Structure 1
Amino acid sequence: MFTEAIEAILRDYATPEAIRAIEKGGAASPLWNALEEAGFLALLTPESAGGAGLSLPVVAPVFTALGRYALPLPFAQSIAARALLHDAVPGGMTTLAGACRRRADGALEASHVPFGMLCDHVLANVDGELVLLDATRAERKPCGVHGSAAGTLSWRAAAVPGAFSSAGEAVLLFSAAIHAAAIAGAMDRVFGMTLQYCNDRSQFGKSIGKFQAVQHQLSVMAQHVASAAMAAELAFSGEGVVPERLATAIAKARTSMAVPLVASTAHALHGAIGVTAEYDLQLFTRRMHEWRMADGSEAFWNRMVGNALLTQEYATIADFARTAPYGNAA
């Protein structure tokens, strides 16, 4: 129900034209206001704090839908921030920074913060502590990637407040899980666009989707898209407030691994039209590559999965895969 309601708003406001306008510096307020006024920012906020108090599995399709529409705003991150801080989060757009570097003088720096150039606040993991930072007091530097709102933010020591708690890792896990879901959603959209194009594009008297070589590429692509969707669902399968550590690691690693193949296959099957700025495909494949690197690529998360396997006693790899992601591993 919530997913359908949000998708209805996204269809009206998060159009490709609106996304391009925001990327070029246009106002993001119409899209943000439409989502905020609908009350969806409090989906994960406990009922005791005035929220809907929904569980992670229920909200997971919402995060995937945001990727399917290439939403250029930190809406998912703001939902997570309110889940972690309840009503302590001020108004406006809040993003997540999974890792901050503290300098010797007490200043902070967060590299490649998602939507760092647009946000009002940053909920950050600072040496394992949960810290809410005012983005308006930060020095912002864009990441330099075309169309990206990510940036490197730095704060002087005087602008760094005290920590809320020692639950800083929750920011990293939430951010990684959100990016895994966004990748899965974008992949679903890219696969749909590619399949439609292959059915519509004719060559030698028939659609190119009927050629065996093209069908083979589409089938491999479909397998990776389906696997990414299941992995993203795994990240939000826990019963707690924060995504499970190992499940998140598996999800982020698997979705990130699929990005190069899915993106390259989509562009290859689209041919010359697929690389043009006017065609919508690049709105999604660019973000897939960006989200792949956000919070660490598959190399970072695969190492975490490997360490979990090696430090636990399992009779077989199958036993590990069947039980560990659901909270039975350290």
Structure 2
Amino acid sequence: MFTEAIEKILSDLCTPAQVRSVESGDGAQALWSALEDGGFLELLTPEAADGAGLALSALFPIFLAFGRHALPLPAAQSIAARALLRDCAQRVPAGRLTLAGSAHWQADGVLCVPRVAYGMLADFALVNLDGELLLLDCSQARRQPIGVHASQCATLHWPQDAVGAALGNNGEEVRRFSAAIHAATIAGAMERALDMTLEYCNDRVQFGKAIGKFQAVQHQLSVMAEQVAASRIAAELAFAGDLAVPALIPAAIAKARSSMAVPSVTATAHALFGAIGVTEELDLQLFTRRLHEWRLSEGSETYWNGIVGQAALARPNVCASEFVRLVTPPQLTQGAHA
């Protein structure tokens, strides 16, 4: 029910033209208000607190849709932030919340939070600082764009007197949730890029027939589809089970596998589109730019593969398939055997 309602809002208000408008600094409020006024930021909030009380698994198709529509706002992060603040006395502030899985103190006493997703647009950031949970007001931060065209990602710097006390010791949950969100949105954006590429290959005629009929092109599309499917399956794993926050190893597998697929999927899409594929006018770049950005957000595949590798090495007598079964939530494993 919620997925269909959100898909309708995104179809109406998150068109490529609207995404471009938000990227240029205008038009974000109508889309944000539609999500906020509809109560969609409270999907994980318990029903007793006037939320929807959804399970984590119910969020996956919603976050997938955010990626499929290139949503230029931190809606997924705001939903997660409300769940991460569940045990805090701090009242959840109104506005756009984002997540930052890492931060460090600089020598000059300034707190640096690198590559914050939607850091140019966020009102508040929920930050992991060495395991401590911080809620920071972005209006008090110096925002430094990362320099990529139209990106809303930014490195934020807070003076020491603007940081305040930690709200809890569950800061590491921020990194895990943020990694899982990026895996889901990567999977959604890659699905959209694949759909666009398939449509173009069926429409573009060369030597008297659609280029999608050529065996070499079909091979590239098949590899692209395999990467997209594998990424979606891995991302869904991070949201399986009955936990309130994605578990570490499923989230690590999801982020690593989806990030690994980005270079291949984006390169194939642009190659098959040919010269038009690199133009700003084509909607493809709305997704491939985000895919490259999300690949690096919260750590690339190198970082997360290291997490998975260490966990696998701790079980020296377990093969890879058995390792995945052991770290998979029981509900999903039982469903696979049913």
Contact kept, 8 Å, 2:18 with 2:27, in 1: the verdict is: no
Contact kept, 8 Å, 1:187 with 1:225, in 2: the verdict is: yes
Q: Which residue does 2:97 correspond to in 1? A: 94
Asked if residue 6 in structure 1 is aligned to residue 6 in structure 2, the reply is: yes
Equivalent positions of 1:1-330 (< 5 A) are 1-86=1-86, 88-103=91-106, 106-326=109-329
Partner Cα separation in structure 2 for residue 142 and residue 316 of structure 1: 44
Contact kept, 8 Å, 1:107 with 1:160, in 2: the verdict is: no
Partner Cα separation in structure 1 for residue 94 and residue 133 of structure 2: 18
AA of the residue aligned to 2:33:
N
Deviation per CA, 1:228-281, whole angstroms, max 9, x where unpaired?
010110011131111010000000000000000000000011111111100100
AA of the residue aligned to 2:26:
G
Contact kept, 8 Å, 1:244 with 1:326, in 2: the verdict is: no
Give the Å deviation of 1:172: 0.3
Partner Cα separation in structure 2 for residue 126 and residue 325 of structure 1: 28
Q: Secondary structure at the match of 2:85?
A: helix
Deviation per CA, 1:11-54, whole angstroms, max 9, x where unpaired?
11111111111111113111101111111000011223221111
Partner Cα separation in structure 2 for residue 313 and residue 239 of structure 1: 28
Give the Å deviation of 1:315: 3.3
AA of the residue aligned to 2:28:
A
Larger mean CA deviation between 289-298 and 81-90 belongs to 81-90
Residues 286 and 313 (structure 1), Cα distance of their counterparts in 2 relative to 1, 3 Å cut: same
Taking every aligned residue pair, what percent have the same amino acid on both sides? 60
Partner Cα separation in structure 2 for residue 310 and residue 298 of structure 1: 18
Partner Cα separation in structure 2 for residue 193 and residue 142 of structure 1: 29
Q: Which residue does 2:333 correspond to in 1? A: none
Partner Cα separation in structure 2 for residue 11 and residue 315 of structure 1: 46
- Aligned residue pairs total 327
Q: Secondary structure at the match of 2:245?
A: coil
Deviation per CA, 1:44-79, whole angstroms, max 9, x where unpaired?
112232211111111111001000000010000000
Larger mean CA deviation between 65-74 and 23-32 belongs to 23-32
Partner Cα separation in structure 1 for residue 108 and residue 147 of structure 2: 27
Q: Secondary structure at the match of 1:110?
A: strand
Q: Secondary structure at the match of 2:99?
A: strand
Q: Secondary structure at the match of 2:157?
A: strand
Query: Where in structure 1 are there 5+ consecutive unaligned residues?
Result: none
Partner Cα separation in structure 2 for residue 42 and residue 109 of structure 1: 29
Q: Secondary structure at the match of 1:88?
A: coil
AA of the residue aligned to 2:148:
V
TM-score by length of 2: 0.94
AA of the residue aligned to 1:297:
S
Give the Å deviation of 1:107: 3.2
Deviation per CA, 1:150-195, whole angstroms, max 9, x where unpaired?
1111111111121111000000001110000000000000000000
Residues 314 and 54 (structure 1), Cα distance of their counterparts in 2 relative to 1, 3 Å cut: farther
Q: Secondary structure at the match of 2:150?
A: coil
Contact kept, 8 Å, 2:81 with 2:98, in 1: the verdict is: yes
Contact kept, 8 Å, 2:145 with 2:153, in 1: the verdict is: yes
TM-score by length of 1: 0.97
Larger mean CA deviation between 144-153 and 305-314 belongs to 305-314
Partner Cα separation in structure 2 for residue 107 and residue 50 of structure 1: 38
Larger mean CA deviation between 87-96 and 211-220 belongs to 87-96
Give the Å deviation of 1:325: 3.6
AA of the residue aligned to 2:285:
Q
Give the Å deviation of 1:106: 4.9
AA of the residue aligned to 2:178:
S
